[in-house]
Structures are given as C-alpha cells and as structure tokens.
Chain A
Amino acid sequence: MSEIEKKDQTSTHKIGIYLWIWGLLFVLSFFSYLVDWYQFQGLLRWSLILIFMFLKAGLIMAFFMHLFWERYALVNVLLWPMTAIACFIVLMVAEFKYTLFTRIFYFFIGG
C-alpha cells in the first residue's frame, strides 16, 4: 500500500501548480496583447514581445510538458539542438541585410 502511495506522489502533481501556470499564461498573453493595444514601438516593443514569448514558452515546456520533472538525459537531447536554430537565425539575419542592401542599391540607386 505504501508503495502505491509513493508511486502516486511521483507521477502526479497537485492541481494547484497547473492552475497557477494556466493563470500565468493567461496574464502573459494579455500583456503581450497590450503591447499591441498601446502601440509600443521600437526596441521596447520587440523586447517586450520576446520576453513574454519566452516566458510563455518556458512555462508550457517546463510544467505542461513536464520537462521540469523529466530525466536530464531527455531534457538535454531536446534543448541542445535549439542552438543550431539560433545559429541559423544569426546566419539569416546577415543574409537578409545583404539582400536588402543589394535591392536598395540596384532598384533605387541603380547599379
């Protein structure tokens, strides 16, 4: 009997934690909607969007998808490949700046 109780404790969590995360996700979504509502512009807008986005993504992955309680081997297999995406983003930022430059140069200034 005590073994069963132990198992129950390890495999489910209190309902409160899910409700908390759920509420936080609502609040964060509302905040990111407010970013557009108040028409923040420039660096403030971009940083707020990114902060709310990463917070929401982190909460969903950590608690709804249980990564917070998952074995570390699995967590690492999942999260390290994201660095490849980050590299790809950096490469493509350089690429779009170059493309934009050539377009402005040849379309408007003339080659």
Chain B
Amino acid sequence: MSDPKIEGLELKPGFKGMASDTASDQTMFKGVHWGKAMMWIFLLSDTFVFSCFLIAYMKGRGSTPVEWPNPSEVFALDAFGVPVPLLLIAIMTFVLITSSGTMALAVKYGYEKNRKMCGWLVLATAMGGLTFVGMQAFEWSKLIHEGVRPWENPFGAAQFGSFFFMITGFHGTHVSIGVIFLFIYSYKVFAGHYDTGKRGWFTTMKGDYVEIEILGLYWHFVDLVWVFIFAFFYLW
C-alpha cells in the first residue's frame, strides 16, 4: 500500500485526490513504488489476456449445438470408491487460497522487518504453489489418459479440450513462474538482502521489502484468475 504521508503531497480522499495526483505535473502515482506501479500495469495487461481466453471460451461453448461435457462428471475423482464431483479442483482451490493468505501475511511481516517470519511465509507460499502445479499435472495426465485432446474428447463438444488445455495451461504457467520467483525471493529474504539493501541481479535498485509486496501482487493475481476459471470453467 502506498504511503499516504508524503510531505506536501498528502493523499486527499476520493476523486479530489485523484485529480490532484494526475494534474500535479509530476509523478502520477505519488508514494507508490515504481516497481509496484509497473507490476500493476503488467497485471492489467494480463487481465486482458485472460479475459480474452475466457470470452473465447464463452463464445465457443455458447455457439456449439453439441452438448458441452458436464464438468462435475468430467472432473470427478474417486475417493474410497465413490466418485466425488470436482474433488481435486476443490482441493486445488483451497491450496491456492491458503498460499494467497500466507503471501499476504509475508508482505505484512516484511514491512515490519520481521525477516524470519517473512522468509518462512514466502517459502510456505512457494510450497503451496508447487502443490497446486503438481495436482494440475495429475489432472492433466488423468484427462489425457481418458482421451481428452485439444481436438476431440469422449464426453461431448470437441471444443472442450482446446479451451481446457489453453486456459488451465496458461494459468499453470503463471503459477509455475510464480513458484520459481517465490523460491528465489525466500532465499533473498532469508539472506537478508532486504535488510542490508543489497542490490538485485536485474537492477541497481537497492533491496527493499517492497519487492515482497510486488511479488505478492503477482501471486494474488494468480489466485484471482483461478477464482474466475473455477467459476466459469468448472462450475458453470
């Protein structure tokens, strides 16, 4: 969150504050770290990419006269011999929300300069993400064994496979990239790079716990996208 107390540039509430920020002929998002503003802009563009996928899915599913496969049967999983609908997907959802929660706490402890807590929480987030990707790999291989392909599947409309692999694959790629960065950043936190202000490898910027918040924004976005995929692809 931005620091509202910048000398001479106090945050005024509502549109008045927005107008003075925008019209002040200086930096627009005052008190917002440039890296954070850039991450937000990136996430905005990523929102458009995912929206295009989901809208394409809506268009494909809506325009086929063939019956769409019933997701709660396709994604059912046998637990003790009984098929439970969407069991794996529900567990994946809970794992991702758990990791989102640990990330939010990591950001909080980071700003409190609590190095150990922040490091452990970032590591826990990484483990959650890894679990998620693992379960997704399991789900993919299960569906591929059942004969789901991007061009055909035994359950119904042929478009199902292409949308499934494209959308969950693109989301899984985001999760995987996030996991890699979470591991790197948990190392950086534990090594104290943000306490000593050690410079990073891509940038001459001095290490600061704001980087944990930037990483957190990305991770929460991955969770946010999953909320929409869960609603539109698995539940609808």
Known interface pairs A18-B105, A100-B63; A49-B231 also in contact (CB < 8 Å): yes
Q: From B50, which residue of chain A is reached at the shortest CB distance?
A: A85
Cα–Cα, bound, A18→B59 (Å):
37
- Residues from chain B with a CB closer than 8 A to the CB of A32 are 230-231, 235
Task: A81 to B228: give the CA distance in the assembly, Å.
Answer: 17
Inter-chain CA distance A25–B90, complex, in Å, is 13
Minimum C-beta distance from A72 to chain B (A): 4
Assess whether B104 is interfacial by the CB under 8 Å rule: yes
Q: Mark B53-80, 1 if CB is under 8 A from A, else 0.
A: 0010011101111000000100000000
A96 to B68 alpha-carbon distance, docked (Å):
15
Query: Can you list 28 contacts pairing A with B, beta carbon distance less than 8 Å?
Result: A19-B101, A22-B97, A26-B97, A33-B90, A36-B85, A37-B85, A49-B231, A49-B236, A52-B231, A53-B228, A57-B224, A61-B224, A65-B217, A65-B224, A66-B1, A66-B213, A71-B2, A71-B21, A71-B30, A71-B32, A73-B21, A74-B40, A77-B44, A89-B58, A96-B60, A97-B62, A99-B59, A99-B63
Give 8 nearest A-B pairs by CB, closest first.
A96-B62, A99-B63, A22-B101, A73-B21, A53-B231, A69-B1, A66-B1, A72-B18
Q: In residues 77-109 of chain A, which contact B (Cβ within 8 Å)?
A: 77-78, 81-82, 85, 88-89, 92-93, 95-97, 99-100, 103-104, 107-108
Of all chain A residues, which has the CB nearest B84? A37
Q: Which of B9-17, B162-170, B180-188 contacts A (4 or more CB under 8 A)?
A: B9-17
Given A33-B93, A49-B236, A64-B103; 9 other pairs, CB 8 A cutoff: A11-B111, A21-B101, A22-B104, A29-B97, A60-B223, A71-B17, A72-B11, A97-B63, A99-B62
Q: Is the interface of A mostly helix, strand, loop or mixed?
A: helix
Q: B residues within 8 A CB of A71?
A: 2, 4, 11, 17-18, 21, 29-32
Do B111 and A12 touch across chains, with their CB atoms under 8 A apart?
yes
* A74, B2: Cβ atoms closer than 8 Å: yes
Chain B residues with Cβ below 8 Å from A78 are: 40, 44
> What residues of B have a CB within 8 angstroms of the CB of A65 in the complex?
216-217, 220-221, 224
Band of interface residues on A: 35 or more
Classify chain B's interface size.
35 or more
B contact residues around A2 at 8 Å (CB):
none
Q: Mark B36-49, 1 if CB is under 8 A from A, else 0.
A: 01001000100110
Partner of A12, one of B59, B100, B108: B108
Chain B residues closer than 8 Å to A74, beta-carbon distance: 2, 29, 32, 37, 40
Shortest Cβ distance from residue A45 to the other chain B in the assembled complex, whole angstroms: 8
Contact of B227 among A8, A13, A60, A77 (CB under 8 A): A60
Question: Is A72 in contact with B224, judged by CB distance below 8 angstroms?
Answer: no
Specify the chain A residue showing the minimal Cβ separation from B230: A32
